[in-house]
Each structure stands twice: as C-alpha cells, then as structure tokens.
Amino acid sequence: MPFVTGADAVPELSDAPLHPALAQLQADQWAAGKRPPQAIGHEAARAGMLATALAAPAGDDLPRVEDLAAPGPEGDIPVRVYSPDDPRATILYLHGGGWVIGGLDEFDRVARRLARVARARVVSVDYRRAPEHVYPAAHDDAQAALDWVRTTCADLPIVVAGDSAGGNLAAYLALEARDAGEPLAGQVLAYPVTDHDPSRASHLQFAKGTYRLTAAAMAWFWDRYVPDVARRTEPRVAPLRARDLGGLAPAIVVVAGHDPLRDEVLAYARALAEAGTPVSVRAYPEMEHAFLSSIGVVEDASRVYEEIAADLDVLLGG
C-alpha cells in the first residue's frame, strides 16, 4: 500500500483463517503444555521466551554486531548495534513483550533480519521492564536511547521502529520528536499497542487469541506496567488519545488479522492518516500477533520485512 493521508484512506482488514502453519504451531504449543505468562509469572515467562529464542536457528549473518551501552535515566541501557555494509539509515528498534518480557537475545533474529533486508544500522534497546520498573520507565529509556542515537549516529537518517509494546514506545518517540522539533525519517509500527480499551471488537473476537497473545495476557501486561489504571489513557502510553497526530514522521503500520490488538492498530493508522500524517498499512489477514518473530515458519514473516524495506525505499529515496 502506498503512503496515504485523509479520511477513509485506511480500509478494513479482510477476514481470513489463521495460516495453517501457524494453526499447527499453536496446536503443538498447547499440546506441549505451553502456559500463558499470567499463569506462570514474569520470571518464568522471560526464561521460557529466552530458551525458545536460543534454541532457534541462528539469525542472518552481518558484518558487525556490537553490544554497547547508552546513558539512561537510571544507569546505562544495554543496546546491540547491527551494521550491514553501507547502511542507508539508523533504525532504533524497540522489542515487544508487553513491557514485561523479551530482550536483546529474544529479538536478535528480528533485528538481524531488519538490518539486512532494510539495509540499515539497527540499534536494539534493552529497556527496563515491568513489574520491577513500572510506567513510564520503558518510555524514559526509549527516549534516552533515541537521544544517544542522535549524538552517535547522526550521519544517517533516523527511523524509530518497534513491535507490540515496542511499537507503543516507537509511536511515543515519534510524537515527542515532532513536539521537540527534531524530525525523524519515519516510524515503523508493527501491531503496536495504541490504546487501553479491552472492549474493542478484536479484543473480544480474539479473546483466546493464539499462544502469542490473548486478551487475558494483554490485561496482565497492562497491570504489570501501568498499575495505576487512571494513567492508562495518557497519550504517552495510549497514543491514539493524543490531541494532535498531524505532522508526524511517515508511518509504516503492520497489522495482523488474528490479533486482539487489530482494531486499535487500524484505528491508529486511520487517525494518523486523517490528521495528515502519511501512512502505509501493511495488512496480513492470516497472521497472528508477533508474527515478525516467525521467520522460517511462514512466508509472510519474511515478506513483511521486504515490504517494510520497500516503504523505507520511498522514505529514504531508494
């Protein structure tokens, strides 16, 4: 989809069954006794996610990968920098995991694929997680990481990117960058959290979700990161509620059909377009939440990187 603006620019997502490979993977996970994070607690959920990541095939090979640190509000923030030959941009990447789970190793394959296909230097951020560090700790770390990128990687255009909770952080950074008069080249929002409204149709339709995300798990993530319910509608963590969504960096929005977050993702894309922010929506009706991590499982998990790269071609001039 080309970048568009204006009312009615973002269509509805067509219905489609869950991709057979993902349906089989889900069945295998349940048969193996996989339990959701709210049933086992954040420490066990983190350990399980890390074990799965470390058991997966190695990610794409790159000329240089460095573990560094960016100064943060409460100490150094670990970052991992992935550098292909001749990068054309720097992408600040913020991983998913409900602000609670996930980290550099868990999303290493995602960052490597993004760096290789998008031909960009990718800076992956190990921001502080809940429940040890509640809102707005992850947002503060994301901003500190962007400040560090601006001082150390100023040689290239800067794009912010993230998936799920990381997409929420990236959307926040785009708003802050506009308000600070420090423009970004783009924002990549893969199935981002954009609002706290569990009454949306997709939350109800996909309440049981897939093993990647259920409505109950999403509620549990909110409880861990933003325990003060009154703050869950602040635009910082619910960007759909921002007063002004115009004048932001062009947005590449990835939406999955089988995702409790589907409707808030589409609502945010529409709100951006209606406010005059250019939007390219990449829709995958057969996919589930977090499918960027399904590299090697389904073709769409590879195609999405190609489509993101194609949109970046438009924004960065090829």
Residues with a catalytic annotation lie at 164, 259, 289
Residues 6+ apart with CB under 8 A from 134: 224, 225, 226, 227
Report which residue type is found at 284.
Answer: Y
**Do the beta carbons of residue 127 and residue 96 sit within 8 Å?**
no
Q: Which two tokens stand for residue 54?
A: 């470390």
From 235, 237, 221, select the one nearest 129 (Cα to Cα).
221
Tokens 């601006």 label which residue?
150
DSSP string, the chain: ---B-STT-SPPPPP-PPPHHHHHHHHHHHHTT---HHHH-HHHHHHHHHHHHHHSPP----SEEEEEEEEEBTEEEEEEEEE-SS---EEEEE--STTTS--TTTTHHHHHHHHHHHT-EEEEE----TTTS-TTHHHHHHHHHHHHHHHH-TTS-EEEEEETHHHHHHHHHHHHHHHHT---SEEEEES------TTSHHHHHTSS--SS--HHHHHHHHHHH---GGGTTSTTT-GGG-S--TTPPPEEEEEEEE-TTHHHHHHHHHHHHHTT--EEEEEEEEEETTGGG-TTT-THHHHHHHHHHHHHHHHHT-
What is the distance, to the nearest Å, from the Cα of residue 138 to the centroid of all Cα atoms in its chain?
Answer: 13
